[in-house]
Each structure stands twice: as structure tokens, then as C-alpha cells.
């Protein structure tokens, strides 16, 4: 396994991380535990979850499955997106974050998280309130590092500047949709992260499965796929996205690998990317994607991928989660 520094911090994270959005939904508890244990056994140390994944089941499953192995992983969770119906059940106020951290710790069966991330920018809470609450979490020992998610470049830079001015802990990472099908972070976010020493953690690295080539126009989604279990996902099935999936699959065939392995390997080569979180619904799927860590990509392959995906630097992000 290859390990990278998480942004400018001294924390080392595996080049391939495990996303657990499917735990408790598309993968039951037993399958989720097998996936998690396989990941750890194969050298993956970055485990990413959130307080809302599978209605909190993801954190609970991880907490049980990690008993006796907590020290082997860098455990990351998030809060900020709506958790309930009440007026304080979302956002990044001190009230909400403190409550959610304590609940996450109980579900995860741990007394600290390695990376606590703000799931999205909260325009109704002063950044200073959020950052001071996070600083208190770090000083209490319940949080080791802090990160952002779904922040625009200007929002992230404002937070970093405020942390510097007030002497508070800085965001060491930011999560964003980033893939061959979504290169919009390269316009502003990547240059900012390069300048400020912030690590990028891409989510949707396979564009929800589109970059695996398994979705075809006019054909039924494969059983168990994201589109089959969540029909609303087909809103991403634009012709340009599906065409890119076919082109990446064709190149992967020439290189003797799968489209998913090729897409993940490309992303790992991009500047400021610290770890690429990929989900799985079976340990076999995870083991297959591990091939991306050691896939050699020469200049010609990288150039062809860049050419195929260059149009996806413009337009709208593939995915963006914001408060309603």
C-alpha cells in the first residue's frame, strides 16, 4: 500500500481509502464487516463515514467491526448535513457539532476520531463559531485533525485565513466530487489546496459507477448497482457522461485493466490528492479496486485520459451537497 501525507499534516493515509456510505443499506452488517476487515488487512487505513450515512447505521456497524482494531485505522466522520427536522438538527453551529460528535463517538465505540469534517458550508453560522468549536474538540482530545467538505474555494480560503489570524486549528483536508467525469475542482480548489497545503479527498471517484462502464444507454441498470437501488441516480446519465464511461473502458481494455482501476489510478496521480475514497458492497469489489494503487500509468496513458476528460473541467460539478 502507498501512503501519503494528509495535506500539510504529518498524518499518513492510504492512497486508497474506504468509503462506507453503503454500510447498513446496500451492504448489510455482515458484508460491511467483511469489507472493512479486508480493507485493513490489505493496508487501507483511511475509513470515511458520516453521521447520516444509512441513517446512522454506517457508524454503528463500523464501531462494532473495529473492536480490537481501532488503533489500526485513521477514522474520519462528518456532521453538518440535515440529521433531523428540528431547527438545530443541521449546520455547523457549536450546538449541533458538539451534539453530533458525542453521538458519533458512541456509535463508533471510540473516545476520539482522527479526522472530523464539516459536511458542507453553513452560511447561517459564523465561521469563527464553527472553528472555535472545532478547536475545543481538538483541545479536548476527542478530535485529532479537522477537515472540510463541499466547501467552495472562497469558503475554504476564508476559513483558513480566519484560523491563521485567530491561532486556531486549520482544515488539513477537504472532500469534493472529483473524477475523470468531474474535473471542476481543478479550476479553483486544486490551486488553492496546492498553495495552502490542504489535501483533497475525492468522493464519487467513479462518478457513482459511470466510470466503470457498467451503465449503458437504453439498458437496465445492473442488479445491486447504485442506479438499481436508487433510481433517482439516473439523473446523472447524460450522454456525455455515459460516452466518457465507454471511452475509459476502451482505453482500460488496451491497458489490460478495468475501467474502475484505471479511473482510480488517474485520480491518485493528481496533485494534492491525499486519499481516494471508494465504496464497496462486497470484499471482492474492494479487492479488485485495490489494483489501482499499483497500476503503472505512463505519460501516454495520462495524456489520453486528460484529453478524454478535459471537457469535464467546465460546467457544473458532478455532485455537490449543500444545506437547503
Angle at 16 between CA 231 and CA 223, to 5 degrees: 25
Tell me the β-bridge partners of 5: 12
CATH code for residues 3-313: 3.20.20.100
Q: Is the pLDDT of residue 202 over 80?
A: yes
pLDDT-derived band at 315, boundaries 50, 70, 90: confident
- 223 pLDDT band (50/70/90 cuts)? low
| Residue 24 reports pLDDT greater than 70 | yes
Sequence ranges of the domains in the chain = 3-313
Mean pLDDT of the chain: 94
* pLDDT at 227 (0 to 100): 57
Give the distance, in angstroms, between the CA of residue 115 and the centroid of all CA atoms in the same chain. Answer: 12
pLDDT of residue 238: 75
Q: Out of 53, 145, 151, 203, which one is annotated catalytic? A: 53
Q: For this structure, is 3 an active site residue? A: no
pTM value is 0.94
Q: What is the pLDDT of residue 216?
A: 65
pLDDT tens digits, one per residue of 117-136: 999 999 999 999 999 999 99
Band (pLDDT 50/70/90 cuts) for residue 226 is low
Residue 231 in contact with residue 205, Cβ under 8 Å? Answer: no
Higher-scoring residue by pLDDT: 238, 71: 71
Residue range 68-78, pLDDT digits in tens:
999 999 999 99
Amino acid at each position: 500500500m502507498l501512503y501519503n501525507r494528509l495535506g500539510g499534516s504529518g498524518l499518513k493515509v492510504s492512497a486508497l481509502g474506504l468509503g462506507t456510505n453503503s454500510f447498513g443499506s446496500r451492504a448489510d452488517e455482515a458484508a460491511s464487516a467483511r469489507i472493512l476487515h479486508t480493507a485493513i488487512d490489505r493496508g487501507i487505513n483511511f475509513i470515511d463515514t458520516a453521521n447520516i450515512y444509512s441513517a446512522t447505521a454506517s457508524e454503528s456497524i463500523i464501531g462494532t467491526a473495529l473492536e480490537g482494531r481501532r488503533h489500526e485505522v485513521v477514522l474520519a466522520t462528518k456532521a453538518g448535513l440535515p440529521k433531523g427536522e428540528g431547527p438545530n438538527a443541521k449546520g455547523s453551529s457549536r450546538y449541533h457539532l458538539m451534539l453530533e460528535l458525542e453521538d458519533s463517538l458512541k456509535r463508533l465505540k471510540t473516545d476520539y476520531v482522527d479526522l472530523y469534517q464539516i459536511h458542507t458550508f453553513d452560511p447561517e453560522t459564523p465561521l469563527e463559531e464553527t472553528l472555535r468549536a472545532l478547536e475545543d474538540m481538538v483541545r479536548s482530545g476527542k478530535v485529532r485533525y479537522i477537515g472540510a467538505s463541499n466547501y467552495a474555494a472562497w469558503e475554504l480560503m476564508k476559513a483558513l485565513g480566519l484560523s491563521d489570524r485567530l491561532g486556531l486549528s486549520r482544515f488539513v483536508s477537504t472532500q469534493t466530487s472529483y473524477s475523470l467525469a468531474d474535473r471542476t475542482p481543478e479550476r479553483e480548489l486544486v490551486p488553492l489546496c496546492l498553495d495552502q497545503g490542504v489535501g483533497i479527498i475525492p468522493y464519487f471517484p467513479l462518478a457513482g459507477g459511470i466510470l466503470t462502464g457498467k451503465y449503458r444507454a437504453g439498458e437496465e441498470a445492473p442488479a445491486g448497482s447504485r442506479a438499481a437501488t436508487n433510481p433517482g441516480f439516473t439523473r446523472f446519465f447524460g450522454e456525455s457522461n455515459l460516452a466518457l464511461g465507454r471511452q475509459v473502458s476502451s482505453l482500460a481494455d488496451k491497458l489490460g485493466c478495468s475501467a474502475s482501476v484505471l479511473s482510480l489510478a488517474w485520480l491518485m496521480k493528481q496533485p494534492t490528492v491525499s486519499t481516494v475514497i471508494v465504496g464497496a458492497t462486497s470484499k471482492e469489489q474492494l479487492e479488485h479496486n485495490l489494483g489501482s494503487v499499483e497500476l503503472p500509468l505512463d505519460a501516454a496513458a495520462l495524456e489520453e485520459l486528460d484529453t478524454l476528460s478535459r471537457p469535464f473541467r467546465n460546467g457544473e460539478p458532478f455532485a455537490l451537497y449543500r444545506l437547503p
